[in-house]
Amino acid sequence: MISERKSPHTVRQYIFFARKFEEICGKNLDRIEKSDIDRFKEFLAMEKKYSKSTQYSFIKAIQLYFRSTGITPPRNLTAPKRGRKVPIFLTDTETKRMIEIASRRSRENAIIQMFVYTGIRISELCSLNVEDVDLEERVVLVRSGKGDKDRMVIMSSSCADAVRRYISTRPDAKDGTHALFLSRNGRRLEPTSVQRMVKRIATDAGIEKHVTPHVLRHTFATRILRNGGDIRFIQKLLGHASLSTTEIYTHIDDRMLKEMYSKFMPDY
């Protein structure tokens, strides 16, 4: 996976899945039978009650584990089809409230604004270096994003100002890191720390939804669409390899659906 430039997060996740599979089955891979696979699938669905998406990731990791050892897996090691749920996103009022709460601390303010004004992924945000951000031109170079592709994202003027204020108060970096966002000890900020930060800010803002960095990414895409942004434009901003991934946002724009309904509804 490393040789294929998979992200460190994905590598860690697949290792965890493979170890959990071995733990549940209690056998070497060359002794795994169809009954073991059925029992493991029941464990994922019935005991752990994982979503289809998580079950899919589990099975894909185990399939890769078998391939990497040259062992042919049982034929029933197949992944379930993933459903396409409407993503959670914040209202304008909720988003403004989060920005208001985050504005009390320069680092939190810069991070929240980066999420809601650029649609950047959490892994991409944590991987940013100082030289990747051009505050004058208000552009950010996302290096080796998902799929190992570089792309440019645009910042709003308020987002650029928030990042500029954070840099002016940023602690000294340790171990020679060029990371843009640093922890209190001067090292590159970890995704888990960012997730906890976003959750805490959402709670302080009185938002009852389960808010994650990815919810803020959905919020960004939804707002661009509702403001008339073309779906291919949103695809470029989000860094989606396939347009079909971006098209999920066309299902959540209820305002546009109502306008189209009023325009084209038959008049009997």
- For the annotated catalytic residues, the residue numbers are 121, 146, 214, 217, 240, 249
Cβ(210)–Cβ(107) under 8 Å? Answer: no
For 235, residues 6+ apart whose C-beta sits below 8 A from its C-beta are 243, 245, 246
Of the CA atoms within 13 Å of residue 73, those in its CB half-sphere come to 20
Which residues fall within 8 angstroms of residue 103, CB to CB, at 6 or more apart?
109, 162
